[in-house]
Structures are given as C-alpha cells and as structure tokens.
Amino acid sequence: MDTESLFSTQNSNSKDAYPSRGGRKAALVERLDPVAYAPNLNQSPVAPALVEQYQNQGFLILEDVFDAREIEVFQRELETVCNDPQLKDSEKTITEPDSGSIRSVFQIHQFNPIFKRLAADVRLAGLAQFLLNDQVYIHQSRLNYKPGFVGKEFYWHSDFETWHVEDGMPRMRALSISITLTENYEFNGPLMLIPGSHKRYAVCEGETPEGHYKASLKKQELGVPSDKSLSSLVNQSEIVTATGKPGSLILFDCNLMHGSNGNITPFPRSNLFFVYNALSNRIVEPFCGNAPRPEHICSRTHIEPIEPKVKPL
Ligand code: 6CS
Ligand code: FE
C-alpha cells in the first residue's frame, strides 16, 4: 500500500488505513493489524492451541457448545421470528430476490430477549473480549435463514471491506460468531472459508452507490474480490466448509474471505450471527463518503459495551 493513500484524510475522524473501491484497481495488500490481540494465553477461555489456530487460519469451529435444551429454545425463537408478521414487513427483514422468502433478519440482539441474552453469553462475548483484548459491543446481528429450495448464495466477500467502506470501521479488530440453529451439512449451503485469507486485504473495484445495502444484502455484486484476487487466495490455501450440528459455534475474523452457495435441498441452513467490535475500534464516518447505513444494519448510536454473562440461559 502506498503511504500517500495510508495518510489520505478521507475521513475527518480517522485515516483510511484500508482504502477500497473509489476507482481503485483490485489488489491483495498486507493486513496492518494483529489478528488475536489476546495478551496472554494462560488466561484464555479456550485451549491456547485454538488461539494459535485462530491467529493462523482466521477461524474456529467449536462443536457441542450448547446443550439440547438451549438448542430447543433457540430453534423455537427461530420459528417465532420467522413467523412474526410485523417483522416480515419491517426494514430489519431482507427477503430473497426471487421467492420473497425471508433471507435475513437484522438487529435480533436488540428486539429478541433470548438472542439478546445469547449475544452476551460468556461463551461468545467472553471469547470475543479475550481475542480482541478489549471491551466489545455488537456492531451487527442477524439471523440468516437460507431456507430449503430457495435460499440463495452469499457471494465471496470480506465483511471488513464492507464494514470499513460503508460503515466506517477503522481497523481489523472485530470478529463474527455464528451459531448453527439447523444442521449445516456439506450440501445445504454451509459457510465456505479460505484459511489464512484474513492476512491479506482484498481491495475491491467499483463505486459505492447511496443505499447500496438495499441491493447488497439480497445479492452482493460490489465490494467483492476480483476473480484474480479470489483465485490467488484459494491457490495459496484451500476452501473449507464449516459443517456442524445445531448448537455449534463458528468464530471468524472480520477480514476472513467467506461465502456460501445456494440451498436447493429440503434442509434449511439457519444460523445466527453476532458481530463483536472492539470498543476502541468503534465506527466513524463511512470511508466511502456516503450517508451512514441505518442502525439496524450497524450500531452507531447504540454502542453498549457488553458485560459477559455466565448464568444459564
Ligand atoms: O453488509 C453487511 O454488513 C453484510 N453483508 C454480508 C454479505 N456479510 C456481512 C454482513 O451481513
Ligand atoms: Fe459475511
């Protein structure tokens, strides 16, 4: 990355350390930030080897994190949210482009008491706090339904590229935790991850239109890596599918390249996603210069540090 762009003041509050789009050419540039900010492994809530794995690969898949009773509660909530007529018509709900089926419901940590409590659970927030070595808050939460037969793909992308350009997230000090609510098989559109891809930042081409999220959350065609960048990341690594029974936990770095295929099977692939951002990395103005995305897509006015909870759900 040339030093000029590093010090360009595209944003009154913060330097643009990861410029993308805005007439730039696609490229893979080095990550400037640590991955695991954890200070000392002997206080780790997980085996130190898992912290090393997260540092090197950019993700962790932990099975059997929740017991049968907890999973039953989550699955009941999944149905409640899915069948709520008011939610269906709200801006929090994104539908699939063709069938009109529910694709995602955003901000579930704000309006659903069970998922609000889950977002603060020590098994999630405590782990995020340790790896980011800071207090954390929820930058974004969503239920991705990926229904059977009509659940469409999520094209390859780095979440951070979008959150940096369109939300103003300054640095790579955030991570996502996904909880599987239904079985994530090899064949019903599981998350596909490229181990180690988090260490390179994929600069994307194109200009960001105002209100881009209205299209990108249905089908993302901008803020995606070029074929050359994606091929290079895969050739230096591989593609791993994050399969798991309900109640598994998939944790991945904000800059890990990931995507998922469509689901033409009868089996829905429904997962919860909570995005934990370090309090010291709170968002500033969007680096693309557009109007900020709404609160249900990214927390801007409700930035509440989480106190991880240990009492049973
Ligand atoms: O724009 C976003 O914030 C969302 N887009 C994708 C495809 N993944 C992250 C997030 O849900
Ligand atoms: Fe994503």
Per residue of the chain (313 residues), give pLDDT as tens.
444 444 443 444 478 999 999 999 999 999 999 999 977 888 899 999 999 999 999 999 999 999 999 999 999 999 999 999 999 999 999 999 889 899 999 999 999 999 999 999 999 999 999 999 999 999 999 999 999 999 999 999 999 999 999 999 999 999 999 999 999 999 999 999 999 999 999 999 999 999 999 999 999 999 999 999 999 999 999 999 999 999 999 999 999 999 999 999 999 999 999 999 999 999 999 999 999 999 999 999 989 999 999 866 6
* Strand, helix or coil for residue 158: strand
Domain annotation covers residue 218: yes
C-alpha triplet 243, 260, 28: angle, nearest 5°: 115
Judged by its nearest atom, the ligand closest to the C-alpha of residue 106 is 1
Residue range of the domain that includes 163: 18-281
Q: How far is the CA of 255 from the centre of ligand 2 (A)?
A: 9
- Token readout for 307 is 């106190």
**Residue 272 · residue 181 · CB < 8 Å:** yes
What pairs with residue 277 in β-bridges?
137, 174
Ligand 1 atom with the smallest distance to the CA of 154 is 7
Domain annotation covers residue 302: no
How many angstroms separate the CA atoms of 76 and 193, rounded?
28
Judged by its nearest atom, the ligand closest to the C-alpha of residue 213 is 1
Domain annotation covers residue 270: yes
Domain annotation covers residue 10: no
Ligand 1 atom with the smallest distance to the CA of 140 is 3
155 Cβ partners below 8 Å, 6+ apart? 219, 220, 221, 224, 259
Predicted pLDDT of residue 312: 65
**Residue 32 · residue 23 · CB < 8 Å:** no
Predicted pLDDT of residue 87: 92
Cβ(212) to ligand 1 under 6 A? no
Query: Which residue is closest in CA terms to ligand 1's atom 10?
Result: 159
Cβ(154) to ligand 1 under 6 A? yes
Nearest to residue 204, comparing CAs of 33, 31, 27, 4?
Answer: 27
Cβ(141) to ligand 1 under 6 A? no
Q: How far is the CA of 41 from the centre of ligand 1 (A)?
A: 31
Cβ(258) to ligand 1 under 6 A? no
* Strand, helix or coil for residue 153: coil
Cβ(220) to ligand 1 under 6 A? yes
Q: How far is the CA of 157 from the centre of ligand 2 (A)?
A: 6
- Token readout for 259 is 């995507």
231 Cβ partners below 8 Å, 6+ apart? none
Find the DSSP H helices in the chain: 3-6, 48-57, 68-82, 85-88, 108-111, 113-119, 127-132, 159-167, 213-216, 227-235
165, amino acid identity: V
90, amino acid identity: S
Give me the number of domains the chain comprises.
1
Predicted pLDDT of residue 294: 98
Nearest to residue 184, comparing CAs of 246, 131, 272?
Answer: 246
Ligand 1 atom with the smallest distance to the CA of 162 is 1
Domain annotation covers residue 296: no
Predicted pLDDT of residue 296: 98
Domain annotation covers residue 80: yes
Q: How far is the CA of 308 from the centre of ligand 2 (A)?
A: 24
Predicted pLDDT of residue 154: 97
What pairs with residue 184 in β-bridges?
244
Cβ(142) to ligand 1 under 6 A? yes
Predicted pLDDT of residue 11: 45
Cβ(16) to ligand 1 under 6 A? no
Judged by its nearest atom, the ligand closest to the C-alpha of residue 286 is 1
152, amino acid identity: K
Cβ(157) to ligand 1 under 6 A? yes
Domain annotation covers residue 110: yes
Q: What is the pTM of this model?
A: 0.94
**Which region holds residue 89: left if phi is over 0, alpha if psi is between -120 and 50, else beta?**
alpha
Which residue out of 93, 105, 159, 272 has the highest number of ligand 1 atoms within 8 Å of its CB and is therefore the one to mutate? Answer: 159
How many angstroms separate the CA atoms of 239 and 53, rounded?
16
Question: The domain that contains 68 carries what CATH number?
Answer: 2.60.120.620
Domain annotation covers residue 33: yes
